[in-house]
Amino acid sequence: MLASLTPVADGYEARFERRLKHTAEKVWSSLTVNDKLAEWFPELRVEELREGGSIRFDMQDGTFKELEILELREHSVLEYAWGEDRVRFELYPEPGGCRLVLIETIREMTGHTPKDLAGWHVCLDVIAALLDGRKIVRMEEWKLAYEDYKQLLRTF
């Protein structure tokens, strides 16, 4: 399912949701334990898992960006800065699993925005697949999602 995109006071909010057949604790590990995080976003590494701590983003060119953790509630909320934007994961326990919500607050739409949205879309699909013991072909999925998000952004 595509993210919903909504104008907000400081830009736009992209909201992704996935219902997973796994506990919030298990999904939380995928977001915060470096070995598991590397399976779906190998450029990220948690440095200090606490509010005010950081996640390191490897730019793949020998440089790194430190992403400050803005809010942390174990097994529930992880929010961090992403340049001028913010990325927030929320977990809600449900019967038989949990609901994973990703909210990206986007200050300004650019030509790169549909690529980023497609990237997060596929990341969530990869998390679900890994937890289910499945594999997906990321680049093929990304190309499809990218076309969908380009179309969605034409309405903004």
The per-residue pLDDT for range 31-87, each reduced to its tens digit, is: 999 999 999 999 999 999 999 999 999 999 999 999 999 999 999 999 999 999 999
In three-state secondary structure terms, 115 is helix
Please give the backbone phi and psi of residue 126, each rounded to the nearest 5 degrees, phi first: -65, -45
**Residue 55 token pair:** 């996640």
**Residue 69 token pair:** 């953790």
Is-contact 68 82, C-beta < 8 A? no
Could you give the strand order of the β-sheet that contains 44-46, starting from the edge strand earlier in sequence?
4-8, 11-20, 97-106, 85-94, 77-82, 64-73, 54-58, 44-46
In three-state secondary structure terms, 116 is helix
Nearest one of 99, 79, 88, 95 to 27, comparing CA atoms: 99
The per-residue pLDDT for range 122-149, each reduced to its tens digit, is: 999 999 999 999 998 889 999 999 999 9
Q: What is the mean pLDDT of residues 87-110?
A: 98
Q: What is the C-alpha separation between 74 and 65, in angstroms, rounded? A: 24
Domain definitions of the chain by residue range: 4-33+74-153
CATH topology for 4-33+74-153 is Alpha-D-Glucose-1,6-Bisphosphate; Chain A, domain 4 (3.30.530)
Has residue 156 got a pLDDT over 90? no
The per-residue pLDDT for range 14-29, each reduced to its tens digit, is: 999 999 999 999 999 9
pTM for the complete prediction?
Answer: 0.95
122-127: list long-range contacts, CB under 8 Å, 24+ apart. 123/40, 123/41, 124/16, 124/18, 124/100, 125/18, 126/39, 126/40, 127/18, 127/20, 127/27, 127/30, 127/40, 127/100
